[in-house]
Amino acid sequence: MGDLLYQTAVRAFFRKEGRVKYISHLDLVRCVSRALKRSGLPVWHTLGFNPHIYTTFALPLALGYESRCESMDFRLVEDRPMEEVQERLNEVLPSGIQVYQAKPPKMKPESIAWADYDIVMEVDSLSGEGLLEKFQEWLSQPQLITMKRGKKGEKAIDLKPHLQVWNLQANPSQLRMTMRTAAGTTLNINPTLALDAFALQGGEKADWLSVTRTAILTKELEPFE
């Protein structure tokens, strides 16, 4: 079990869609590690007194978000074709979590700098157009100051340099947009932080919200691999 050195590192890229968006990151970790066990793949266990399957996730996803670009790393003690790894995982994962690619990791998680999100929001008291207008007004301010909670308590931060928005569209009841925010270990801006700031600063709180992560990018805007 835990006494073997590993042979191959694997980075599995997966989607998290539908009702599984409500499972927290911690629950996802447990779910994936059970799936790895069920898959029968020769996964590497941590060394030590209480060996367990080693997994690590590059950029945890917030509760309630969907994603088309999640990734997790684990290790194998014997080589296996990557197609087989992908197939065997998909046989045992719950519906909504689907691996679309498995390959050896190319980049370090520290290289992550940006993430893109598709956002759809509804505010019952406003039409899509009305919401769009308010949002554009908020976004056009020279600074977007808000409070961000960190390890050392709350502090004020200007979101402006860490946030870009495009594809802003209104339909009769909804506002849609794509938002790119700073991501990674040093500074991680969640779209919810921006939307909360909007709600507090003359905007509205969403009555219904859908957020889907569509890309994780490096500083050079290359996809994280």
Partner 1 sequence: MENVQKALERVLLQVQRPARYTGGELGSIVKDPSQVQVRFAFCFPDLYEVGMSHLGMKILYALQNAREDCWCERVFAPGPDLEGLMREHHIPLYGLESFDPIADFDIIGFTLQYEMSFTAILNMLDLAGLPVRSSQREALAPIVVAGGPCACNPEPLADFIDLFLLGEGEELNMDLIDLYKACKQEGVSKKEFLRRAAQIPGVYVPSLYEVTYHQDGTIQQVLPRDGAPAVVHKRIVKDLDKVFYPENFVVPFTEAVHDRAMVEVLRGCIRGCRFCQAGFIYRPFREKKPDTVDKNAHALCDHTGYDEVSLTSLSTSDFSGLEPLLEKMLTWTEPDGVSIALPSLRVDNFSKELMDRVAAVRKSSLTFAPEAGTQRMRDVINKNVTEEEVLRTCRTAFEGGYTNVKLYFMIGLPTETDEDVAGIIHLAQKVVEEFYHTPNRPKGRGVNVTVSVACFVPKPFTPFEFEPQDGIESLRRKQKILLETVKSKKISVKYHDSPTSFLEAALARGDRKMCAMIEHAWRQGSKLDGWSDYFSMERWEEAAQACGIDLGFYANRSRSYDEVMPWDHLDYGVSKAFLIRENQKAHSDAATPNCRQHCSGCGANHLLGGACFG
Which parts of this chain interact with partner 1 (CB under 8 A)? 1, 18-20, 22-24, 27-28, 30-31, 34-38, 45, 49-51, 63-64, 92-96, 207-210
Q: What's the min distance (Å) between Cβ of 45 and partner 1?
A: 7
What would the DSSP string read from start to end of the chain?
A: -TTSPP-EEEEEEEEE-GGGGGS-HHHHHHHHHHHHHHHT--BPBPPSSS--B--EESSPPPTT-EEEEEEEEEEESS---HHHHHHHHHHHSPTTEEEEEEE---S-GGGEEEEEEEEEEE-TTS-HHHHHHHHHHHHTSS--EEEEEETTEEEEEE-GGGEEEEEEEE-SSEEEEEEEEE-SSS----HHHHHHHHHHTTS---SEEEEEEEEEEETTSPBP-
Closest CB to partner 1 among residues 8, 210: 210
Q: What's the min distance (Å) between Cβ of 162 and partner 1?
A: 23
In single-letter form, the type of residue at position 91 comes to E
Closest CB to partner 1 among residues 36, 215: 36
CA 222 – CA 214 distance, rounded (Å): 13
Closest CB to partner 1 among residues 92, 107: 92
Q: What's the min distance (Å) between Cβ of 48 and partner 1?
A: 11
Q: Which two tokens stand for residue 199?
A: 């709600």
Closest CB to partner 1 among residues 36, 126: 36
Closest CB to partner 1 among residues 35, 58: 35
CA 179 – CA 167 distance, rounded (Å): 9
* Residues 117 and 191: beta-carbon distance below 8 Å: yes
Q: What's the min distance (Å) between Cβ of 23 and partner 1?
A: 4
Q: What's the min distance (Å) between Cβ of 158 and partner 1?
A: 26
Q: What's the min distance (Å) between Cβ of 184 and partner 1?
A: 24
Closest CB to partner 1 among residues 38, 160: 38
